[in-house]
Every structure is written in C-alpha cells, then in structure tokens.
Amino acid sequence: MKPTRLMSPPGTYFTTTTTFQRRRFFVVESYARLFLKTLYHYRREGRFQLHAFVVMPDHVHLLITPAADVTLERAMQLIKGGYSHAVGQEISRREIWQKGFTDHRIRDAEDFAGHRLYIHQNPVMAKLAATPAEYRYSSAFPGFKLDPWPPVAKATVVKGVLAARL
C-alpha cells in the first residue's frame, strides 16, 4: 500500500525537494533564475513567507511559512508545479522533480536559526563557494528580499516551557 501524506499543521517549515533522478538541472543559470522567478512570484502573491533558500545543482532547500489559507503541501505544489509549467513554456518539456518532498516543522528560534544556517552553508559544504554570500542562488547572496520569522511563530523557552511571544 502506498503511504499517504497527512496535511501539515500551520507553521514554519524547512523543506527539501530533489530534481528528477538527481539530475544537475540547476547548473544551467537560466533554469536556476527561472526557479527564483517562480518562487518569488508565489511569495508576492502572498502564498507563503520566504525566510531562506538555496538552489543547489540537484535539490532545493526552503525555509517557508505558508499563508493561513495555504497548506504546506499546496505551497510546495505551487512552487514545483509552477516551475515545471514555466520550464515547459520557456525552455522545454521534461520531467523536473522527484515526487514529493521532505519537511521539518520548525519548533523554536534555535531550530529556525540552525536550519537557516544549514541552508546558507550548503553551497560551502558542497565546495560550490568559499562563503555563503558568494553563492548566487542562495538567500545569503546580497540583495534577496526575505520575510522575517513571523511573530506568532517565534517562541522562547522559559523555565523549560515553550512560551509563544505574541
């Protein structure tokens, strides 16, 4: 029996999605730029807040908070499906993505900071750049507009109890 995906609760998520057969699709600059154009299109539409990202040659990491009326699954469907459609329109028809994606729900400010650092260090660890700010397809590169972590999602640990800061 094929496992089914449950709907993720509201919150901020670290996601990873991989290219079809791990092909190094995003080494082509026009493909990477088109992905960023698609990503920012849905951000401008208010479908999600974007906190960090990196477009690696064969996968993408995102740190996003879907809008109140958008599930994480729908946000990822928009991003992946919108990009596949754009590639078909502008470049060529081909399989782009592996099915599905992985996700981790961000629990607190430390978890957020750790995943943001992981995203930004990804190109350095892969030896694609000496520093995070040198890699053009990462939110660590100067000039990308990002959203702050939403206040309702921010949390601090007080005496071992998670207390939301509103």
Is 8 a domain residue? no
Indicate whether 90 belongs to any domain: yes
Within a domain: 127: yes
Question: CA 82 → CA 13, 85, 165, distances in Å?
Answer: 20, 5, 35
Confidence at residue 115, expressed as pLDDT on a 0 to 100 scale = 97
The verdict on residue 113 lying in a domain is yes
Does residue 6 sit within a domain?
no
Range of the domain at 54: 13-164
Q: State the CATH number of the domain containing residue 134.
A: 3.30.70.1290
pLDDT for the residue numbered 32: 96
State the first-to-last Cα distance of the chain, in angstroms, to the nearest integer.
Answer: 43
Residue 2 falls inside a structural domain? no
- Splitting the chain (166 residues) into consecutive groups of 10 residues, what average pLDDT does each group show? 60 96 94 96 97 98 96 97 88 83 94 96 97 97 91 43 35
In a domain, 47, yes or no: yes
Q: Are 66 and 43 in contact (CB under 8 A)?
A: no
State how many domains the chain has: 1
- How many angstroms from the chain centroid is the CA of residue 106? 13
Distances (CA, A) of 125 to 11, 53, 55, 56, 132: 28, 15, 14, 11, 10
Q: What is the pLDDT of residue 9?
A: 79
Question: How much is the pLDDT for 6?
Answer: 56
Question: What are the E-state strand segments in the chain?
Answer: 13-18, 48-55, 59-66, 102-105, 155-158, 161-164
Q: Is residue 130 part of a domain?
A: yes
